[in-house]
Structure 1
């Protein structure tokens, strides 16, 4: 309620939430080290062999079924047409995973300092195994166990801050997340709810029925009290005693050698607890959800990487695994705040699944150790069919609400409702017909002198070059470049006459004195620099591709594109990127176009993709959300944007160069970039208004 009432004013709560998250994470890596070494090191060789023979096989069976089920749900998020403004992290090269560095602890101290959890886990496992044969290990094991318990106590102290931390995180989220984003968060709740439900009540219990003679209803009866307790308390540990008691009672009441089975169960269940459970695995759904949420859904291959790496990360703590995975797939770290806030609901469901996981592990492992394990193929095939039908049916059931939640609002107003920041009555902007300057240059007068004498700066522009110069929803010429010359005119104390041009006529119009300078995302090329003066760059842009959403995966790597047979790539005529595209894709057919609008509007052309500035591409996808921006390039390909100066007027060039340098120094260029390209501080961007501000005064 606090966040809803305060709206954007709830932003300060983020700092308090960050402090809470940091305190929750501070004990995680030390706990991994002490707990794993202590739990493995205390085993004797017989227990280790028993664990290897029985526990690992059982664990892998359960993990395989849980992973396959979770993977089905992770890949079930519906296609999402999402468009947003440019962000530099969205055009960075696809991440390459250094598997050696990730998993091999060649320098354990470096792995610890870099929070490389998989490498830390592997080091601790080997260290623990190395302790098993040592007679003098007692003191070290005692130290490890004491340290682990101490960290649990420290964590318990931090947990006491949970109400305050959750309050801050939830207040910030509910106040600053837009209603549309809240709707998409419901998709995560729906997905993890369905996934944990089918795993807890169908998949895992049926595994027990497939490999033992224990009935399905018995599994549910044994787990009932533990599941309820775990959901209420939000802790798997709180349900373990109830689980152990119910398991021992079942064995003693229903099996002839029940006492022996009960003794094995009493040993196996505590041994299984330090290892990841299926509930931890479902937390990986949040990473898939995050990628879908921000419009960068993971490919199937990336999904496999997620589950492979995530399996090792879960030997640590979920609170450390999620930030690591978000960073690994270049997803916003702010999503971790949503993960914490969602834990009030999703975390309890995952804990309940974890409780069922430990029960199923105990029942199957005990059956293996006591000779009651038997693969009943007929029942297994029948249960596999039931599992498959349950998963497919549940996915079909939640499909409609997921599609509804993935619907996107009209994003065109985000760019088309913008107005210039620096346009003023003292320096008005007026579009005039193309034609020579009515005041011709005479004698030794240069253009700068004519501009000051006449009080008018004539600027050439293209009207459909988003976001640099274009007509907004009110029919006014706006854009970053238009704003830039409006600011220049203000400081020169002159008005602006805007003269339209096309790429094919720009050079001739400049020679015919139609305008003093030209704008609209002009990039530097050698040919252009030979024909006209070019100012100092005011912006550096990045080459990227605009592709139809349904073909995004086809164009995400250079190698895949070069394997295609003569793809048609549209490129802006005269762009510096034209030569770069030819070098990157030598077998492609290059189609030159005069404006990006041709790519979207010419339905007769057979363009596959458009190669253009990523900064411009993201703005175009706001108008055409059925397209996406991808960066297939291993190395960044950049180009400078400049102002073209007519007549090789050195005085005008020097003035504009000096002015651009000053605008860079005082932050005005950055301000324009943030507004027009990154979409910050936009009047048209819907923000959460405080509820109190909506009440009548």
Structure 2
């Protein structure tokens, strides 16, 4: 691969492909989405040589050393890596404190109750079966195996035969890589165009504060801290380093993938050392060994995702304090040795941040990879260059250039921090608050409705009512009972419209019956009386199907299965982490329903006293009287959007779920049979699931804006 970088340097096709791809995406918008598979195909082409390259470069690079050299080189490389981690983590922590004030609160996500991912370091790093590790793409295990084999060959007198053979294979891999890279600008163009054309405004708006935070941090690390450290301590000039990294940086930015540019990084380092007349055989071997090692160990690029953990704490109202920093840093360094998708859930769990925040990371991973991957590329270049010159004892501090760059990157840190804080404060100020999102949700398909705030006297005859489908159609009215302020199942939005999961289903039921709908309020303890006296036909409001009420009313088949949880002030959530923690305390816990279930709990745990409230708003009117509120996790998250100082916790050790459904009077079998058959249809056609995604998960709760493009804006007549 000796001529690989020269091949790229003489032709700036990748840079032009990147620029042209962005321009094409902005001009044509979603019309260029068809280019995405083409870009994905080029990424797979680039991956053809990567695993063989790691094996060959590590074994050959280490095998050519003598034992004294290896010990000295690895020790000095470890010193450089630890120092880079130190300065990088300091910068990361500085940026976490640029987050503005925020009105916390998020929708529920099923990931909240998903089991915690336990990191299996043994599986990640011990190559019990090297061939399986190669097949599964387990890079850390592959690197460990190759390091062990390479070091085992150091003292072997017959090693030259194997090393020469592997050298020949390496030359073949060079030819393949060169052929692929010669046409790779096509892939860069395809990926950039499809990304720029399909990235929605909604995706940017959802987590724009995090995106700005990562962007400012990434730019500081990529353009200031790392290259200026190299320029300050080594003979390499800042501008020359930027040019050397350019092609690998562009490829990593376009693809969001560092793995495929490892050969380009290695050859770029070797070629630049030859250009400045600092190359020798040892330097080449160091580059071949350290590049895959740097990729395997936590890089500063990978560690920038640590800022998401801080962002998630800020977003959910659990900000990380100064006293948490030492423990968080230690946990991060241990967990980031594994895959980042294992490390982030582990970190969220260790900091008691709701695990569903991980879904936010996944939704932004495509965007953040555009910063994380290029930062990793710059980190690898900086680490290897610093290690090479440290091994040669050519690191210098007593130079004017060293003082200049050290002073410059120190001064620019607060400038980047100020830019991040200023921009994010503006975005947070102009973004829609969490409570406004849920308060502005509406029902899409409504039938004529009449919402009452009381039970009309005409309905209070006191006679047992028998209602069936024929009666409902004859009167042209479906009467539905609802619980007041039972977010997100039945509540009033900012326009004073009755909305919610069950209210939406009630409108659909009335539409299918071809009748109007009337909503009548009731309190939970009034359910049996109001139904059996005929005040309304059916109760629909996230009602728990419980054994105690089975003899008094008839429940439909299950509509949803909800997760039982506790809601409390954010700073008190740690008290309820496990059932064991709860049992050891003297508590007063409020609830609106769940009386039969909680009666048994009170018997088992006499130190806990349960108080029943008329409605959920009664708890928030005087929350200091209670330690917590029993509620479904789905509803708890919705309420935390209105009251961001509260959070939701699912105690570990005894996770309980319960079914919800509709209720009808005890004698109304005809109506019950109709409801059950109707529910089967709604489940089958996806209507219940669609309602769940909208009202519970909040998907589509903000208006979708058509993807903007220059063609739509300035030349719409060309589309006609």
TM-score, normalization by structure 2 = 0.75
Conserved 8 A contact 2:234-2:389: no
Conserved 8 A contact 2:467-2:537: no
What is the Cα deviation at residue 119 of structure 1?
2.8
The 1:356–1:458 alpha-carbon spacing in structure 2 relative to 1, beyond 3 Å, is closer
Distance in 1 between residues matched to 2:50 and 2:552, nearest whole Å = 63
**What aligned pairs does 1:560-571 form with structure 2 within 5 A after superposition?**
561-562=581-582, 565-566=585-586, 569-571=589-591
Alignment partner, residue 117 of structure 2: 95
Alignment partner, residue 77 of structure 2: 59
Alignment partner, residue 638 of structure 1: 657
Matched, 1:341 2:366: no
Alignment partner, residue 218 of structure 2: 192
Alignment partner, residue 70 of structure 1: 88
Distance in 2 between residues matched to 1:579 and 1:674, nearest whole Å = 32
Please give the root-mean-square deviation of Cα atoms over the aligned residues, in Å: 4.4
Aligned equivalent of 1:476, options 497, 520, 528: 497
Q: Deviations over 1:76-129 (max 9, x none)?
A: 424565544333234423322223323333344444444333333323333333
Alignment partner, residue 615 of structure 1: 634
Conserved 8 A contact 2:560-2:660: yes
Alignment partner, residue 191 of structure 2: 165
Conserved 8 A contact 1:516-1:646: yes
**What aligned pairs does 1:200-599 form with structure 2 within 5 A after superposition?**
200=226, 219=233, 221-224=235-238, 226-233=240-247, 234=249, 236=265, 237-243=267-273, 246=276, 248=278, 268=286, 271-276=289-294, 281-291=299-309, 295=315, 304-311=330-337, 330-331=358-359, 332-342=361-371, 347=374, 350-367=376-393, 397=418, 400-401=421-422, 403-404=424-425, 407=428, 408-425=431-448, 428-431=449-452, 433-435=454-456, 438=459, 446-546=467-567, 548=569, 554=574, 557-558=577-578, 561-562=581-582, 565-566=585-586, 569-574=589-594, 578=598, 590-599=610-619
Alignment partner, residue 124 of structure 1: 146
Distance in 2 between residues matched to 1:463 and 1:112, nearest whole Å = 59
Distance in 2 between residues matched to 1:274 and 1:302, nearest whole Å = 27
What is the Cα deviation at residue 587 of structure 1?
5.9
Conserved 8 A contact 1:570-1:591: yes
TM-score, normalization by structure 1 = 0.77
Conserved 8 A contact 2:207-2:364: no
Distance in 1 between residues matched to 2:441 and 2:293, nearest whole Å = 54
Conserved 8 A contact 1:542-1:638: yes
The 1:570–1:302 alpha-carbon spacing in structure 2 relative to 1, beyond 3 Å, is farther
The 1:18–1:582 alpha-carbon spacing in structure 2 relative to 1, beyond 3 Å, is farther
Secondary structure of the residue that 1:504 maps to in structure 2?
helix
How many pairs are equivalent?
Answer: 644
The 1:20–1:264 alpha-carbon spacing in structure 2 relative to 1, beyond 3 Å, is closer
Distance in 2 between residues matched to 1:648 and 1:498, nearest whole Å = 21
Q: Deviations over 1:279-337 (max 9, x none)?
A: 971111442244456657898656544433444x6xxxxxxx65675687755545342
Q: Deviations over 1:640-669 (max 9, x none)?
A: 111111234222222211211121112221
Secondary structure of the residue that 2:496 maps to in structure 1?
coil
Conserved 8 A contact 2:588-2:626: yes
Secondary structure of the residue that 2:114 maps to in structure 1?
coil
Alignment partner, residue 209 of structure 1: none
Distance in 2 between residues matched to 1:560 and 1:95, nearest whole Å = 21
Q: After alignment, is 530-539 or 268-277 more displaced? A: 268-277
Q: Deviations over 1:364-412 (max 9, x none)?
A: 3233xxxx99999xxxxx9xx9999879857864563365267243233
What is the Cα deviation at residue 536 of structure 1?
0.3
Conserved 8 A contact 2:587-2:608: yes
What is the Cα deviation at residue 276 of structure 1?
0.7
Conserved 8 A contact 1:543-1:637: yes
Q: Deviations over 1:452-498 (max 9, x none)?
A: 44332221101311221111222111111011122222222332221
Distance in 2 between residues matched to 1:149 and 1:81, nearest whole Å = 58
What is the Cα deviation at residue 29 of structure 1?
4.0
Alignment partner, residue 105 of structure 1: 127
Distance in 1 between residues matched to 2:605 and 2:47, nearest whole Å = 46
Q: After alignment, is 683-692 or 331-340 more displaced? A: 683-692
Alignment partner, residue 655 of structure 1: 674
Conserved 8 A contact 1:4-1:175: no
The 1:469–1:15 alpha-carbon spacing in structure 2 relative to 1, beyond 3 Å, is farther
Distance in 1 between residues matched to 2:462 and 2:34, nearest whole Å = 58
Q: Deviations over 1:432-454 (max 9, x none)?
A: 63157649698995544533443
Distance in 2 between residues matched to 1:263 and 1:153, nearest whole Å = 21
Distance in 2 between residues matched to 1:147 and 1:268, nearest whole Å = 19
Gaps in structure 2 of 5+ consecutive residues = 1-22, 250-263, 348-357
Distance in 2 between residues matched to 1:693 and 1:546, nearest whole Å = 47
Matched, 1:602 2:628: no
Q: Deviations over 1:615-653 (max 9, x none)?
A: 223333443445444545367532211111123422222
What is the Cα deviation at residue 189 of structure 1?
1.7
Secondary structure of the residue that 1:498 maps to in structure 2?
strand
The 1:192–1:445 alpha-carbon spacing in structure 2 relative to 1, beyond 3 Å, is closer
Gaps in structure 1 of 5+ consecutive residues = 206-215, 250-261, 314-320, 377-381
Conserved 8 A contact 2:564-2:630: yes
The 1:150–1:478 alpha-carbon spacing in structure 2 relative to 1, beyond 3 Å, is farther
Distance in 1 between residues matched to 2:581 and 2:708, nearest whole Å = 45
What is the Cα deviation at residue 609 of structure 1?
4.6
